[in-house]
Structures are given as structure tokens and as C-alpha cells.
Amino acid sequence: MHRETSGVMFSYLNKTKPSAYHDRCIPTDSKVQTNFAEPSKAYSNADYEKCDQVTQDTIWKQSVAKETTGAKQWSENWGFLTEFDPKGNPKEKEPLPETATRFSDNVPNTNSGNYGSRLNTDLGKRMQNLEFQFYAEGRKKKLDGDIICY
């Protein structure tokens, strides 16, 4: 089974040392010692899937933390760009609604709602009908009025 990786996770897992081109651009007197370790082996996604749950959880927490700090840094460094329209005029901020709900009106909010929303289709109704017929033997049946049980 192939797992897709987000851009942040991919860049986190595939960290390599800077290119030789960029090293040549820096003057020799101002070069800073970098601590990039040469990877002994190129790890694949299958190798990371073999990690135990604690390691996978740690990797996930680190990637989420990096993504969160990246978003904060972007808003600090480049957030001013959102305050202006393409012509350079300041944008007016839209007022927030008085009351807002986090639940959607047209998209199911839970997994069970996700399942239930599919039952209203033609295929879902046909499946329910077949299921009803399949379990007909196990249902209680109304006895005739002629039979008297003592």
C-alpha cells in the first residue's frame, strides 16, 4: 500500500545538505560550519512505516510543530501582503459573524453521518432492500388468529 506524503512531511524526511553551488557563492571568510550529517542510507517510506508507533508519533509531532511555526513565521514576515489588494490599496477587514457554528449544513460532520448520507442514493436504497429481504427469516412473524398457544 502506497502512502502519500504532504509537502511538509516530504521536505522534513528528505532533508539533505546544501548544494555545492550555494557553497561556492558564500565568501570563504564568512562561511559558517554546518552540521549536516551525510546520510548513511537513503530511507524510503517503507522504512518509516516499519517504525514503532512512538517513533511515528514523534515524527508526526515534529512535522506538525514545524508546520505551525512556519505558518506563524509567514504571518509575521509576509502577513502584511494580505492587508492590501493587488493594486496596493488597503483592504477592509470583513467583520466576523456574531454566531458561527463549526458544523456543516451540507457535508456530514461524523463518520456515521458519512455512512448515512450515502443511504439516500439509489444504490443505498437497493442495498437496504436486499438486506431487509436477507434477514426476513430471522424476524418475528405475526401468527394467525387460529393458532392458540397455551
d(CA 64, CA 57): 10
Q: What is the structure's pLDDT at 12?
A: 47
Amino acid at position 22, single letter: H
Backbone angles phi, psi at 90, to 5 degrees: -65, 140
Spatial contact of 38 and 17, defined as CB atoms under 8 Å apart: yes
Closest CA to 8 of 53, 59, 42: 59
For the chain, the domains span: 7-79
Condensed to tens digits (0 to 9), the pLDDT of residues 82-134 reads: 888 888 899 988 888 888 888 887 878 888 877 777 778 899 899 999 999 99
Condensed to tens digits (0 to 9), the pLDDT of residues 7-30 reads: 544 454 455 555 565 566 555 665
Spatial contact of 18 and 38, defined as CB atoms under 8 Å apart: no
